[in-house]
């Protein structure tokens, strides 16, 4: 029998995503689901019945103090993530926090700061797409200089169709008071995170965000943003929950060609030479650039699942492996999402770093003014 340490997990919030966490934990050697808690005790009980041997707590603080869990999965609505995460890391209990870290970047920054203050607790955020081979490979190619100086990044993320029936399911979703935002806060965090993970953060954001364009909801369900980067790259982020069929297409164009991610595949149209140099020096071509080698990049390994992130956290706890998405490196996603929301709703350009207090005031005002659903 192996005497390798077992990391005992407790899940806070036994709603829709909690089952995926339980399954992921069950698939990772060295991980075990030990406890659950929900603000609705009946939900926690029902969840525990499907996971025999798991203890139910009535209060997450008691679970954290119990000594029966080494790590907590935070699977509650976004606005409750900061309080639960802070309570855990202050007690040395590791955190696996669902995305987004919080509603606003101000709270996310506090969480990241606290993770530095309490280093005994690992603090991971569930940006599982970072572990997907397609994005890992794209990042490697960009960082390795294969695409050259970046010209443009465009993500069309319009395959998020949601019906009115979905929004009418109600609860905390789809309201400024309950969720703190719409499409950018609920559906798009993974793509916003991957955007900044691949090509970095912009300096300025312009956007149009329309609230209730396709649905009777008070939050944004349609967004088009233009992102200006300090290195001269221009970005676009286009998303909505109304189109059908939608697209999920990411193009990254640079001085040595264009990367395309679509349908889970990675394509690279690689130029034989620098596009800008060719443009400046050719005395023959008027309408075309250098030769292009079109290729599909073969991807190795698996990833992109909750279990990959649980395994990473267990490895970080038991043998010091670096986290794929530590709290400190996950704030940027929320900053980008908040900035696009602010720019899009106010129709005014926003400069980064974003003023977290100003954004918190904006959400408070939206929540106060929003019509009752
Ligand atoms: N990583 C992903 O791909 C992914 C997918 C879906 C959801 N999520 C995230 O997971 C989180 C939860 O989403 P969901 O769809 O499971 O929501 P849900 O509404 O289905 O479940 C939330 C649960 O938390 C409980 N709860 C609410 N406040 C609580 C509190 N203070 N303490 C304890 N329990 C509390 C509710 O009773 C409910 O059972 C959200 O932040 C969401 O964005 C991530």
Does position 240 have pLDDT exceeding 50, yes or no? yes
3-state class (DSSP) for residue 154 = strand
Which pLDDT score, from 0 to 100, does residue 158 have? Answer: 98
Q: Mind giving me the DSSP string for 175-227?
A: -TTTTS-SHHHHTSHHHHHHHHHHH---SEEEEEEEETSSSS-SSEEEEEEEE
Strand-pairing partners, residue 241, are none
- Measure the CA–CA gap between 99 and 181, rounded to whole angstroms: 14
Average pLDDT of the segment spanning 57-68: 98
Q: What is the pLDDT of residues 241-256, one digit of tens each?
A: 999 999 999 999 999 9
Burial 187-224 (b: 16+ CB within 10 A, else e): bbbbbbbbbbbbbbbbeebbbebbbbebbebbbbbbbb
3-state class (DSSP) for residue 350 = strand
Q: Which pTM value belongs to this model?
A: 0.97
Confidence of residue 372 (pLDDT cuts 50, 70, 90): very low
Average pLDDT of the segment spanning 59-84: 97
> Residues 146, 270: contact at Cβ < 8 Å?
yes
Q: What is the pLDDT of residues 97-122, one digit of tens each?
A: 999 999 999 999 999 999 999 999 99
Q: How far is the CA of 291 from the centre of ligand 1 (A)?
A: 50
Q: Which two tokens stand for residue 112?
A: 């990241």
3-state class (DSSP) for residue 229 = coil
Atom of ligand 1 nearest to the CA of 83: 31
- Measure the CA–CA gap between 247 and 347, rounded to whole angstroms: 25
Which pLDDT score, from 0 to 100, does residue 2 have? Answer: 56
Share of the chain above pLDDT 70, in %: 98
Q: How far is the CA of 44 from the centre of ligand 1 (A)?
A: 13
Q: How far is the CA of 3 from the centre of ligand 1 (A)?
A: 34
Does position 5 have pLDDT exceeding 90, yes or no? no
Atom of ligand 1 nearest to the CA of 14: 39
Does position 160 have pLDDT exceeding 80, yes or no? yes
Q: How far is the CA of 31 from the centre of ligand 1 (A)?
A: 21
- Measure the CA–CA gap between 84 and 10, rounded to whole angstroms: 12
Atom 21 in ligand 1: residue holding the nearest Cα:
15
Beta strand extents in 75-180 (DSSP E only) = 94-97, 123-125, 150-157
Any ligand 1 atom below 6 A from CB of 45: no
Which pLDDT score, from 0 to 100, does residue 173 have? Answer: 79
Any ligand 1 atom below 6 A from CB of 74: no
Any ligand 1 atom below 6 A from CB of 98: yes
Long-range residue pairs from 33-36, CB within 8 A, at least 24 positions apart, any chain: 33/8, 33/9, 34/8, 34/9, 34/10, 34/68, 34/69, 35/8, 35/9, 35/10, 35/11, 35/63, 35/66, 35/68, 35/69, 36/10, 36/11, 36/12
Average pLDDT of the segment spanning 136-149: 98
Among 41, 62, 75, name the best residue to mutate to test ligand 1's pocket (greatest count of ligand atoms within 8 A of Cβ): 75
Burial 229-250 (b: 16+ CB within 10 A, else e): beeebebebbbbbbbeebebbb
Q: Which two tokens stand for residue 196?
A: 């900044």
Which pLDDT score, from 0 to 100, does residue 174 have? Answer: 82
Which pLDDT score, from 0 to 100, does residue 295 have? Answer: 98
Among 23, 50, 73, 76, name the best residue to mutate to test ligand 1's pocket (greatest count of ligand atoms within 8 A of Cβ): 76
The residue among 196, 169, 32 whose CA lies nearest residue 105 is 196
Atom 28 in ligand 1: residue holding the nearest Cα:
76
Q: How far apart, in Å, are the Cα atoms of 98 and each of 123, 186, 245, 335, 362?
A: 11, 11, 27, 16, 23
The H or E element containing residue 252 is: strand 248-254
For the chain, the average pLDDT equals 96
Average pLDDT of the segment spanning 315-337: 98
Q: Which residues contact 128 (CB under 8 A, 6 or more apart)?
A: 190, 303, 304, 305, 306, 308, 309
Share of the chain above pLDDT 90, in %: 94
Torsion of CA 109, 131, 12, 101, to 10 degrees: 20
Query: What are the structural domains of the chain?
Result: 7-128+305-326 (3.40.50.720), 130-302+333-369 (3.30.360.10)
Average pLDDT of the segment spanning 354-359: 97
> Residues 91, 84: contact at Cβ < 8 Å?
no
C-alpha 25 chain-centroid distance: 20
Q: Which two tokens stand for residue 152?
A: 């443009």
Q: How far is the CA of 47 from the centre of ligand 1 (A)?
A: 14
Any ligand 1 atom below 6 A from CB of 75: yes
Which pLDDT score, from 0 to 100, does residue 170 have? Answer: 67
Which pLDDT score, from 0 to 100, does residue 129 have? Answer: 98
Q: How far is the CA of 132 from the centre of ligand 1 (A)?
A: 23
Q: What is the DSSP letter of 80?
A: G
Any ligand 1 atom below 6 A from CB of 341: no
Confidence of residue 373 (pLDDT cuts 50, 70, 90): very low
Any ligand 1 atom below 6 A from CB of 253: no
Which pLDDT score, from 0 to 100, does residue 21 have? Answer: 98
Any ligand 1 atom below 6 A from CB of 179: no
Any ligand 1 atom below 6 A from CB of 38: yes
- Measure the CA–CA gap between 347 and 11, rounded to whole angstroms: 40
Q: What is the pLDDT of residues 165-209, one digit of tens each?
A: 999 886 777 889 888 999 999 999 999 999 999 999 999 999 999
């Amino acid at each position: 029998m192996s005497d390798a340490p077992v990391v005992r997990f407790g899940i806070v919030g036994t709603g829709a995503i909690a089952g995926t966490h339980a399954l992921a934990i069950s698939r990772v050697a060295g991980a075990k689901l030990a406890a659950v808690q929900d603000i609705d005790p009946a939900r926690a009980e029902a969840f525990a019945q499907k996971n025999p041997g798991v203890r139910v707590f009535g209060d997450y603080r008691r679970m954290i103090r119990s000594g029966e869990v080494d790590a907590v999965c935070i699977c509650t609505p976004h606005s409750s993530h900061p309080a639960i995460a802070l309570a855990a890391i202050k007690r040395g209990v590791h955190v696996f926090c669902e995305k987004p870290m919080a509603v606003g970047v101000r709270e996310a920054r506090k969480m990241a700061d606290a993770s530095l203050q309490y280093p005994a607790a690992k603090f991971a955020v569930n940006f599982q797409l970072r572990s997907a081979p397609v994005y890992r490979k794209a990042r490697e190619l960009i960082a390795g200089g294969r695409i050259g100086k970046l010209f443009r990044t465009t993500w069309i993320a319009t395959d998020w169709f949601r019906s009115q029936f979905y929004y009418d399911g109600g609860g905390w979703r789809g309201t400024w008071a309950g969720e703190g935002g719409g499409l950018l806060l609920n559906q798009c965090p993974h793509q916003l995170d991957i955007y900044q993970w691949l090509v970095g953060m912009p300096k300025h954001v312009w956007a149009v965000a329309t609230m209730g364009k396709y649905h009777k909801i008070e939050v944004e369900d349609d967004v088009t943003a233009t992102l200006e980067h300090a290195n001269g790259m221009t970005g676009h982020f286009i998303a909505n929950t109304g189109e059908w069929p939608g697209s999920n297409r990411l193009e990254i164009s640079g001085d040595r060609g264009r990367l395309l991610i679509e349908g889970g595949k990675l394509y690279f149209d690689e130029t034989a030479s620098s596009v800008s140099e060719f443009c400046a020096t050719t005395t023959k071509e008027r309408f075309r650039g250098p030769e292009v080698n079109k290729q599909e990049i073969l991807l190795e390994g698996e990833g992109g699942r909750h279990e990959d992130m649980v395994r990473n956290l267990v490895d970080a706890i038991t043998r010091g492996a670096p986290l794929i998405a530590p709290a400190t490196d996950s704030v940027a996603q929320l900053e980008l999402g908040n900035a696009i929301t602010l720019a899009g709703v106010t129709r005014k350009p926003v400069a980064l770093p974003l003023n977290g207090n100003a954004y918190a005031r904006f959400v408070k005002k939206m929540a106060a003014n929003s019509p009752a659903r």
